[in-house]
Amino acid sequence: MNLAYAPTDYDGLAAALQGFFEDALKVPGPPRPPLSLAHEMWITRLSELDELLSVDSAAARDLDEADVRGLALYRRERQKVLSQHESCGKCGSVYRRGGFCPRGCRG
Ligand SMILES: [Zn+2]
Query: Hey, how many other C-beta atoms are within 10 angstroms of the C-beta on 17?
Result: 25
Cβ–Cβ < 8 Å for 17, 74: yes
Residue 6 has pLDDT above 70, yes or no: no
The Å distance, Cα 93 to ligand 1 centre, comes to: 5
The Å distance, Cα 100 to ligand 1 centre, comes to: 8
Query: Which range has the worst mean pLDDT, 1-5, 53-57, 98-102?
Result: 1-5
HSE-CB at 79 with a 13 A cutoff on CA atoms is 6
The Å distance, Cα 83 to ligand 1 centre, comes to: 18
58 vs 52: CA distance, rounded Å: 10
DSSP state of 3: S
Residue 87 has pLDDT above 70, yes or no: yes
- List CB-based neighbours of ion ligand 1 within 5 Å: 88, 90-91, 93, 101, 103, 105
pTM attached to this predicted model: 0.83
Beta bridge partners of 86: 95
Cβ–Cβ < 8 Å for 14, 42: no
pLDDT per residue as tens digits for the range 7-41? 688 999 999 999 999 999 989 888 888 999 999 99
pLDDT per residue as tens digits for the range 34-49? 999 999 999 999 999 9
Q: Where are the domains of the chain?
A: 10-96
